[in-house]
Structure 1
Amino acid sequence: MIKRFIDSYFFYSFLRDPMAWGSFVVLVSLLFVSFSAPVIAPHNPYDTATIDIMNAETPPVWMHGGGADFPLGTDSQGRDMLSTLLYGMRVSIIIGFGAVILQALIGIFVGLTSGYFGGKLETILMRLADVQLSFSTYMVAIFFGAIFQSAFGMASYEQYAVPLLIIVIGFAEWPQYARTVRASVLAEKKKEYVEAARVIGLRPGRIMWRHIFPNTLTPVLVISTVQVANAIMSEAALSFLGLGMPVTRPSLGSLIKSGFDYIFSGSWWITLFPGISLVVLILAINLLGDWLRDFLNPKLYKG
């Protein structure tokens, strides 16, 4: 199987495109260092016993007043920026991929069901998708966040902020998948192999999931790359507005927010390094998604 992949036109085209493999290398590197944070990070930002407020706003090592113990300096709480950045990137990536998995599960099910059965069921499900699209991610986050904090308190919100944001962002964006899958199903169900499956007596569920669904994966893969980047950006925006990860639980968005008040006082590194990391992460995902979209579209890809 590995040899078939290496000999495939997909792998050959991938290696011929420097932008594709370059963005892939950057993305894999960021994933590796972020999920290896407990091993490679110099400090643990969650361990308050190792944090000294007297080290707050220490500049990077190459600036006057910096030290080798904090290569990228410290934030306003005295946490090592390099360690906090690695842990925060891991949280943002988990939220981004988790939200997209939830979006895909809901959207694919709704899109397959509405596209295959049609009729009143399709009308109801697509109107629900239209209603959902009228509510922004931020509005849904405010609604669910306010209810959760009122019911369980801020301490519980800080503890369950990651799964709550996955649910909020995933629930807010599933119509993108539903619309895409539905359009593919409407085109696929008119083809001869679907008619043949019906003639031999296969059940609708088997036809939908075993025959039609695999032929809708191309647009699903393309939209997933875009949605991962959007989900990470949504988390960062929500955290920056105070609706996402709390300051005590670092993510790229909460790190940018916590350092924004200090950017004009000289402690620019608290915001700059998380901001650069967020831009590089989003750019790598988007560039890889653009290549995948062009490759899977024969009208656009020229080899």
Structure 2
Amino acid sequence: MSSYIETPNQSRLNRIWQSHMAYSFRRNPVAVVSMAVFLFIAVTSFLAPLIAPYNPYDPAQIDIMNSEYPPAWAEGALPEFLLGTDDQGRDLLSTILYGTRLSIIIGLCAVGLQAFLGISIGLLAGYIGGRLDSLLMRLADIQLSFSTLMVAIIFLAVTQALFGSETFNRYAIFFLVAVIGVAEWPQYARTVRATVLAEKKKEYVDSARVLGFGPMRIMVRHILPNSLSPIFVISTVQVANAIISEASLSFLGLGMPPSQPSLGSLISSGFDYIFSGSWWITVIPGIVLVVLVLVINLLGDWMRDVLNPKLYKG
């Protein structure tokens, strides 16, 4: 008789490995490659303080005399700067690692705020209904009539004028998270509301009411878990959209300042030099941004197909 005893953790891991989602993931090479690329970018960026050759936030490690050196494979490069340097003399590889981490953090936090606002409003609108539902959905319609970028530009421009550039630059990350998060909540609200309208008519919700559970517990503990599939799909796409929004705003000078590099501010800082021969300052961060957004969107497409039985074909 075998002495091997399966532990609860091993049993849970086996169930996850043998699940429908894990099986479809293993059979989808695009999803596997996209996940590998995303994990590589995310892990290296979050480990930037440990693996980056230089610290772009430390003035002692920056020499303006080293500015605009090309990547290591180009003529005139310095071997210690693998991807070259930017216009401030910062090592571009280190700056990209720190900037990617900042862009991902802004994207995740903005989506977290979107999800919190949208899910809360969608649950209330769908479950309570009536005039509250009409009011909240009209607010969502009004919000959707304005583009995210337009709302963000107006809000950030006014904020910068009110608080001044110094204060704005100090708290730029919070302003970006707030404006991107608030601008996109209707995506979640409309999806959650539609799910709640379908779920609240089912027998398990009637049983919860008979047992005396309050509306808040029914919404959060019973209806919300059955709405997670579309929420996961929306969140994946919204992370990519939030990263693009941050990059666009930083490129326009309304996002992260040059002293706190993000992918958008890096692309913006090198744009004036692209025609003078220093193309790498803009092109390399631009490639990283495109690849990051692309793999997130590909993972979102895969997740949408897997979580929608009508689309999944095995």
Please state which band the TM-score falls in when normalised by the shorter chain. Answer: over 0.9
Aligned to 1:58: 69
1:108 aligns with 2:119: yes
Identity across matched positions, percent = 66
For residue 263 of structure 1, the aligned residue among 266, 274, 278 is: 274
Once the two structures are overlaid, the 10-residue window that deviates more, 70-79 or 131-140, is: 131-140
**Quick one: distance in 1 between partners of 2:302 and 2:42?**
19
Aligned to 2:179: 168
1:237 aligns with 2:268: no
Q: TM-score, normalised by structure 2?
A: 0.94
Once the two structures are overlaid, the 10-residue window that deviates more, 97-106 or 123-132, is: 123-132
Considering only aligned residues, what root-mean-square deviation do their CA atoms show, in Å? 1.1
Once the two structures are overlaid, the 10-residue window that deviates more, 40-49 or 131-140, is: 131-140
**Quick one: distance in 2 between partners of 1:116 and 1:9?**
31
Give the deviation of 1:156 after TM superposition: 1.4
1:16 aligns with 2:27: yes
**Quick one: distance in 2 between partners of 1:168 and 1:66?**
40
Stretches of structure 1 that go unaligned for 5 or more consecutive residues are: none
Aligned to 1:5: 16
For residue 53 of structure 2, the aligned residue among 29, 32, 42 is: 42
**Quick one: distance in 1 between partners of 2:285 and 2:25?**
29
**Quick one: distance in 1 between partners of 2:81 and 2:20?**
46
2:184 alignment partner, SS class: helix
1:252 aligns with 2:263: yes
2:276 alignment partner, SS class: coil
2:160 alignment partner, SS class: helix
Aligned to 1:84: 95
**Quick one: distance in 2 between partners of 1:9 and 1:212?**
23
**Quick one: distance in 2 between partners of 1:225 and 1:142?**
24
Stretches of structure 2 that go unaligned for 5 or more consecutive residues are: 1-11
1:191 aligns with 2:216: no
Aligned amino acid, residue 172 of structure 2: A
Give the deviation of 1:280 after TM superposition: 0.6
Give the deviation of 1:103 after TM superposition: 0.0
Give the deviation of 1:145 after TM superposition: 1.9
1:228 aligns with 2:239: yes
Give the deviation of 1:150 after TM superposition: 3.0
Alpha-carbon deviations, 1:1-36, whole Å to 9, x = none? 112111222212211111111111111111100001
1:288 aligns with 2:299: yes
Aligned amino acid, residue 138 of structure 1: L
For residue 99 of structure 1, the aligned residue among 110, 114, 118 is: 110
Once the two structures are overlaid, the 10-residue window that deviates more, 237-246 or 266-275, is: 237-246
1:159 aligns with 2:189: no
Once the two structures are overlaid, the 10-residue window that deviates more, 106-115 or 261-270, is: 261-270
Aligned amino acid, residue 122 of structure 2: G
**Quick one: distance in 2 between partners of 1:113 and 1:204?**
9
**Quick one: distance in 1 between partners of 2:67 and 2:213?**
66
1:208 alignment partner, SS class: helix
**Quick one: distance in 1 between partners of 2:307 and 2:268?**
38
Task: Please say if residues 34 and 298 of structure 2, whose CA atoms lie closer than 8 Å, have aligned partners that are also in contact.
Answer: yes
**Quick one: distance in 2 between partners of 1:267 and 1:143?**
32
**Quick one: distance in 1 between partners of 2:297 and 2:156?**
29
Give the deviation of 1:289 after TM superposition: 0.7
1:84 alignment partner, SS class: helix
**Quick one: distance in 2 between partners of 1:271 and 1:149?**
25
Aligned amino acid, residue 120 of structure 1: R
